């Protein structure tokens, strides 16, 4: 498709005095509140976006703490109960020699959530002040954050499957711990945080820089 402006300067709907719909791409005159093609609410830029991103991110961070402190799994073997946290589960897997699976769990439950917190915070900060990273690179980062977030839910599903399967009365039983709840809530909050982010803001900051 050809850009309505002249290369290399990309013309945006905002710069042209128009408003684009983020759902269906239809272009509207300013002042229109609801898209006539798809019915979504429209705004040139979502001004409350960054605030909501911070609020959900903070909430996600707060519930991530108990998720790591409290037990994720309670395993009872022959009457003896042991509890394991997220990190403890990874260590157990490594002791059993399942390095691949340990890596998956470690990535999904520790590396991804932590780098996601950092990445969202960085993106939110980057639209509020100037940063060195180019808009193109930040957009890529945003896409990765958006794509990867839901995969953190793996550990919650693992706990559910183990708990439903391993119920062998006295011999062995596995029950979910309270950390499973706070972990699931934390993943959900950070997903909402990432979705609240208006990715068009990434490019606005870049443009202001070009215009001096």
Partner 1 sequence: MAQLPALDELIACPSCDALYLERDVAPGETASCLRCHAVLEAPRRTAMTRIIMLALAAIILMVAAIFFPFLELEVAGRAHRASLLDTVRAFSSGLTAPLTVAMAALIVILPLTRFGAIIYTLAPMAFGNHPWPHAQSAFRMAEALRPWAMAEVFIVGVAVALVKVAGLAHLSLGPAFWAFVGLVIVTVLKDNFMSRLTVWKTLDTRRKF
**155-194 as b/e, with b when 16 or more CB fall inside 10 Å?**
bbebbeebbeebeeeeeebbbbbebbbbbbbbbbbbbbbb
Task: Decide which of partner 1, Zn ion, none touches 90; Cβ closer than 5 to 8 Å per partner kind.
Answer: none
Task: Decide which of Zn ion, partner 1, none touches 151; Cβ closer than 5 to 8 Å per partner kind.
Answer: partner 1
Is residue 22 within 8 Å of 5, Cβ to Cβ?
Answer: no
Site string for partner 1, 103-132 (x = CB under 8 A): -xx---------------------------
Binding residues among 21-60 for Zn ion as defined by CB under 5 A: 21, 23-24, 26, 35, 37-38, 40
Minimum distance from residue 128 beta carbon to partner 1 (Å)? 18
Q: How far apart are the first and last CA of the chain?
A: 28
Q: In 10 A of CB 122, how many CB atoms?
A: 14
103 burial level (CB within 10 Å; 0-12, 13-18, 19+): middle
Minimum distance from residue 52 beta carbon to partner 1 (Å)? 16
Site string for partner 1, 60-99 (x = CB under 8 A): ---------------------------------x--x-x-
Task: Decide which of partner 1, Zn ion, none touches 200; Cβ closer than 5 to 8 Å per partner kind.
Answer: partner 1
Task: Decide which of Zn ion, partner 1, none touches 159; Cβ closer than 5 to 8 Å per partner kind.
Answer: partner 1
Q: Pairing between strand 19-20 and 73-77?
A: unpaired
């Amino acid at each position: 498709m050809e850009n309505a402006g002249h290369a290399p300067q990309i013309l945006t709907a905002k710069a042209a005095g128009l408003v684009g719909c983020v759902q269906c791409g239809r272009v509207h005159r300013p002042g229109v509140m609801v898209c006539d093609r798809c019915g979504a609410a429209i705004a040139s830029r979502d001004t409350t976006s960054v605030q909501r991103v911070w609020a959900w991110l903070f909430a996600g961070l707060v519930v991530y703490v108990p998720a790591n402190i409290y037990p994720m799994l309670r395993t009872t073997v022959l009457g003896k109960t042991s509890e394991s946290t997220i990190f403890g589960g990874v260590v157990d897997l490594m002791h059993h020699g399942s390095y691949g699976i340990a890596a998956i769990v470690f990535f999904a439950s520790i590396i991804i959530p932590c780098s996601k917190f950092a990445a969202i915070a960085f993106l939110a900060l980057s639209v509020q002040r100037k940063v060195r990273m180019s808009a193109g690179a930040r957009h890529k980062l945003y896409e990765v954050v958006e794509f990867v977030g839901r995969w953190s839910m793996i550990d919650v599903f693992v706990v559910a499957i183990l708990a439903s399967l391993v119920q062998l009365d006295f011999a062995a039983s596995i029950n979910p711990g309270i950390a499973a709840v706070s972990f699931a809530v934390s993943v959900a909050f950070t997903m909402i945080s990432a979705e609240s982010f208006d990715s068009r803001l990434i490019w606005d900051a870049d443009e202001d820089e070009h215009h001096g």
